[in-house]
Chain A
């Protein structure tokens, strides 16, 4: 079973920030939080990952709570091309990724 829980779906207006939450209350000390997304009929695309510090790259920001039991993926200016299923995964060095159902993000014009 997946170690994370995510809302099944979210909407976001184009140009606004999309904030996707993830709960991982049983995360262990050496497990990273990974975010991937899957645009229809394509393979999952890596977005970002982190251990305990907040992370930012050209695609998104990852905010991890101090107790590491939850995190939020932020797409700062969502576009229509960001419409996808977003997966939050916790794992130790990617050895056994377990994908949950993810969050289906719809970016609306």
Chain B
């Protein structure tokens, strides 16, 4: 199993600013993912964070808006850039270990943009 810590757990931000969310896993993992959950909705995959290469983005999500870093096998960041109220969501980090095909999720970052 893997324990995933996300920071911050919540934030209130002003329009036009950027927020970087950190995701730390307690063990080395091969795959890390970032999801968005808009109010009252299900989870939507934003991108796969690849270690040592650029993230792979899903349709509707672009690097300029959601830059992702993955400097090593235990850590990733997601930045929400030039925020607008429509970016108000829960952002979730998940990871998959080498030995197990399960996905583990962090507790999420609740973002509110004013």
Name A residues whose Cβ lies closer than 8 Å to a Cβ of B. Answer: 32, 34, 36, 41-46, 49, 87, 93-102
Contact = CB atoms under 8 A, between A and B. Distances in A.
Nearest to B44: A99
B101 A99 contact: no
A101 B41 CA distance: 7
Contacts, number: 50
Contact of B42 (A46, A94, A100): A100
A49 B107 contact: no
Contacts of B31: 94-95
13 contacts: A32-B101, A41-B90, A43-B108, A44-B92, A44-B94, A44-B105, A46-B103, A49-B102, A87-B42, A94-B103, A97-B43, A101-B42, A102-B42
A46 B108 contact: no
B28 interface: no
